Amino acid sequence: AIEPLVLGIETSCDETGIGIVRGRTLLSNAIASSMDEHARYGGVVPEVAARAHLEELQPAIERALAEARVRLEDLDAVAVTSGPGLAGALMVGIGAAKGLAVSLGKPLYAVNHLVGHIAADILTPDSEPLEYPTIALLVSGGHTSLLHVRDLTTDVELLGETMDDAAGEAFDKVARILGLPYPGGPEIDRAALDGDPAAIRFPRGLSRASDLEKHRYDFSFSGLKTAVARWIERAEAAGEPVPVADVAASFREAVVDVLVTKALAACADRGVPRLLLGGGVIANRRLRELTLERAAAAGVTVRIPPLSLCTDNGAMIAVLAAELISSGRPASTLAFGADSTLPV
Ligand code: KG4
Ligand code: ZN
């Protein structure tokens, strides 16, 4: 089919995502999140995520089919995230995808989660097609990656990634230090509203001249997290009240400054005047603001898909497979498994 009807399954982290597309058209995007179940642990617990996928997959598939008004038999292909992500969580989606594809006699496409985030842009309503090459910055609770995309289906280069915590994870951990609930990103964003981003100068990870030689496009947030913890310990030891808004605003500024600086450095170095954002941290107000401000000054066009397509979802997996099918890529054999560190 020129416009293949594809069902995509995404279970790499805590979202159970089932999306259906026809070619580049979004038909449905059903999501169930186990975020609430992880809240009391302050982070995603792999076993809890895998069990939630088992429970949520079937109802999510039914919701997606009903909303798209298609039947399983109508599908041209099934697609699934095979990595990177949590191995146990990935396995649940892969098992379901293989079962569906075999029982329906349809081709199965194993796809890369990070490339899926890039493909999500295709589904942005009323937008012009994504132009290549583009630099992509993907920031979520599970990843922080900078990529050079020359062609979505054949040429995606990973420029750098986090050496320790993901950006969203850093928000979650610092929120915990500040006594704010999980997930911490939205909480810190809110707390920062009344704060001064210049109140405290927190470190920008891997940004010194000596770091930039080897880690120009890599990120590190664990030192920043420790710096926040130390700063609060010192204030408390001195009997001073902790200025939560200032700490939140200054921490957020440090994260966002590094993300935007490195993404725009990649655009400049590679001569690419386009930047695509993806991942749940894109919800951050300051990240959007600073990206748009500095990109405009640098002559870089920014694309930000709607948040429902930026967070983990099945539609981005389905549309990536649809692109692969249209480009003539053969289906995957059944001999693949979960690959928690799958390269792009
Ligand atoms: O893509 P996503 O929904 O899923 C996973 O990574 O699993 O991203 C969730 C992450 C969490 O770490 C959350 O704290 C962060 O994105 N996040 C934010 C904001 N909203 C969500 N981080 C910073 N600012 C926000 N407004
Ligand atoms: Zn993701």
Give tens-digit pLDDT for 2-42.
Answer: 899 999 999 999 999 999 999 999 999 999 999 899 988 88
Task: Judge whether 29 and 17 are in contact, CB under 8 Å.
Answer: yes
pLDDT by residue (tens digit) across 72-112?
999 999 999 999 999 999 999 999 999 999 999 999 999 99
In angstroms, how far is CA 282 from the centroid of its own chain?
9
pLDDT at 50 over 70: yes
What's the chain's Rg over C-alpha atoms?
20
Residue having the nearest C-alpha atom to atom 10 of ligand 1: 141
pLDDT at 313 over 80: yes
Is 112 annotated as contributing to ligand binding? no
Distance CA 255, CA 104 (A): 46
Question: Given pLDDT bands bounded at 50, 70 and 90, which one contains residue 1?
Answer: low
Distance CA 29, CA 116 (A): 14
Distance CA 55, CA 59 (A): 8
The two beta strands, 134-139 and 274-278, are parallel
Task: Judge whether 163 and 219 are in contact, CB under 8 Å.
Answer: yes
Paired with 17 in beta bridges are 10, 31
**Please, which residues have CB within 8 angstroms of residue 336's CB and are 6 or more apart in sequence?**
82, 94, 110
**For the chain, domain boundaries:** 5-122+309-326, 130-304
pLDDT at 152 over 90: yes
Q: What is the ipTM of this complex?
A: 0.98
Distance CA 258, CA 288 (A): 13
- Give the ligand whose atoms come closest to the C-alpha of residue 13: 1
Is 126 annotated as contributing to ligand binding? no
Residue predicted with more confidence, 130 or 67: 67
Tell me, yes or no, if the two domains 5-122+309-326 and 130-304 fold the same way: yes
pTM higher than 0.90: yes
Task: Judge whether 80 and 110 are in contact, CB under 8 Å.
Answer: yes
- Binding site membership of 187 for ligand 1 (Cβ less than 6 Å): no
> Which regions of 300-342 does DSSP assign to beta strands (E)?
301-303
Question: Helix or strand or coil: residue 287?
Answer: helix
Quick count: other Cβ atoms within 10 Å of Cβ 209?
A: 6
Q: State residue 182's pLDDT score.
A: 92
Distance CA 149, CA 278 (A): 13
- Binding site membership of 185 for ligand 1 (Cβ less than 6 Å): yes
Task: Judge whether 313 and 29 are in contact, CB under 8 Å.
Answer: yes
- Binding site membership of 156 for ligand 1 (Cβ less than 6 Å): no
Instruction: Give the mean pLDDT of the chain.
Output: 97
Minimum-distance ligand 1 atom for the alpha carbon of 169: 12
Q: State residue 2's pLDDT score.
A: 84
Residue having the nearest C-alpha atom to atom 8 of ligand 1: 280
The CATH label, of 3.40.190.10, 1.10.3720.10, 3.30.420.40, 3.90.226.10, for the domain at 130-304 is 3.30.420.40
Paired with 147 in beta bridges are 136, 158
Distance CA 66, CA 316 (A): 19
Question: Helix or strand or coil: residue 218?
Answer: coil
Of the candidates 159, 157, 113, 86, the residue with the CA atom closest to the CA atom of residue 278 = 113
Decide if domain 5-122+309-326 falls under CATH 3.30.420.40: yes
Distance CA 73, CA 55 (A): 23
Which DSSP letter does residue 219 get?
B
Peptide bond into 133 cis (omega under 30): yes
Question: Helix or strand or coil: residue 33?
Answer: strand
Q: Percent of the chain having pLDDT more than 70?
A: 100
Of the candidates 77, 88, 106, the residue with the CA atom closest to the CA atom of residue 9 = 77
pLDDT by residue (tens digit) across 219-249?
999 999 999 999 999 999 999 999 999 999 9
pLDDT by residue (tens digit) across 192-224?
999 999 999 999 999 999 999 999 999 999 999
Ligand 2 geometric centre to CA of 233 (Å): 33
pLDDT by residue (tens digit) across 107-125?
999 999 999 999 999 999 9
Distance CA 47, CA 56 (A): 14
